[in-house]
């Protein structure tokens, strides 16, 4: 089974700064790592390769400004068990989920695959849109928030998380697309020697302009402002004996609750 895993390099947002134009993150001092739920998607792909055979190809769409971190992400994927890595590169432009989905979909049309896996949500933008949009563009059956996957001939038996602890079980034909929920497995941690050895392996690079001449024309949602919300104040910690605390709390409630 040939599996494509879509991964995204996401930053540690606690350290984020905004660019002077107020529309983007300043990436100059940020460290980027593989998006959390994508690590589960990659692990699931490698587990399926180990069980059923086939090949795992990791594909990412990334800004050339974070080239080193993206390279490290691919090398770590190799060390875990991925066979090939592809970086679709762009520079200095904003791409919304619709544009990204179109670009990745057009690239996927050029390669062979049985299954596309990606994380259910990214930790930076949290749109939860990419997988569904790609499935639509490629006319693939898909399921989101997947917590279990098993192969049965040319069909997948998939368990999907619902609200209130409920689960739904589906049968989906291949080829198909699944967005993976965290907790489906335990992602492996490759030893440093495997990561070091992986650095000698090639990474395929594709320019975004080789896929579409004007990527900006695909953008449907324009970002007008990106900002860190102002602090609303710190917590008031009450200390003392229970009787004393009760009196203090009563005074606070009297002051904020209208009579």
Position 258 scores a pLDDT of 56
Per-residue model confidence (pLDDT) at position 259: 52
Q: Supply the DSSP string of 113-164, one letter for each residue.
A: -SEEEEES--TTT----HHHHHHHHHT--EEEEEEEEEEETTEEEEEEE-GG
What residues have CB less than 8 Å from 25, skipping those under 6 apart? 11, 16, 17, 18, 19, 226
Q: How far apart are CA 116 and CA 131, in angstroms?
A: 9
What is the reported pLDDT for 257? 58
For residue 38, give its domain range.
2-233
Q: Does 255 reside within a domain?
A: no
What is the tally of structural domains in the chain?
1
Query: Is residue 154 in a domain?
Result: yes
pLDDT score, position 42 = 98
CATH number of the domain at 75, please: 3.40.50.620
SS3 at position 25: strand
Q: Is residue 56 part of a domain?
A: yes
Please report whether residue 169 resides in a domain.
Answer: yes
Query: Consecutive sets of 10 residues in the chain, 259 residues long: mean pLDDT of each?
Result: 96 80 81 95 97 96 94 97 97 92 96 96 90 97 95 93 89 96 94 94 96 91 83 78 88 72
Is 128 among the domain residues? yes
Q: What is the pLDDT of residue 84?
A: 97
């Amino acid at each position: 089974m040939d599996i494509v895993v879509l991964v995204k390099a996401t930053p540690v947002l606690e350290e984020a700064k905004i660019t002077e134009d107020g529309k983007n993150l300043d990436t100059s001092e940020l460290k980027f790592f593989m998006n959390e739920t994508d690590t589960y998607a990659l692990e699931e792909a490698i587990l399926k390769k180990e069980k059923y055979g086939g090949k795992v190809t990791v594909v990412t769409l990334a800004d050339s400004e974070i080239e080193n971190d993206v390279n490290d992400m691919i090398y770590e994927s190799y060390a875990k068990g991925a066979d090939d890595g592809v970086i679709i590169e762009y520079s200095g432009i904003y791409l919304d989920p619709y544009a990204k989905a179109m670009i990745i979909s057009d690239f996927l049309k050029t390669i062979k695959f049985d299954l596309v896996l990606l994380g259910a949500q990214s930790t930076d933008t949290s749109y939860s849109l990419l997988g569904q949009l790609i499935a639509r563009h490629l006319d693939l059956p898909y399921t989101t928030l997947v917590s279990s996957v098993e192969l049965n001939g040319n069909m997948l038996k998939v368990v999907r998380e619902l609200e209130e602890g409920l689960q739904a079980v589906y049968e989906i034909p291949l080829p198909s697309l699944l967005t993976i929920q965290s907790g489906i497995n335990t992602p492996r941690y490759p030893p440093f020697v495997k990561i070091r050895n992986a650095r000698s392996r090639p990474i395929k690079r594709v320019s975004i302009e080789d896929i579409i001449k004007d990527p900006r024309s695909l953008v449907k949602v324009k970002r007008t402002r990106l900002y860190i919300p102002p602090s609303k104040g710190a917590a008031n910690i009450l200390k003392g004996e229970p009787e004393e605390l009760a009196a203090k709390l009563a005074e606070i409630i009297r002051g904020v609750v209208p009579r």
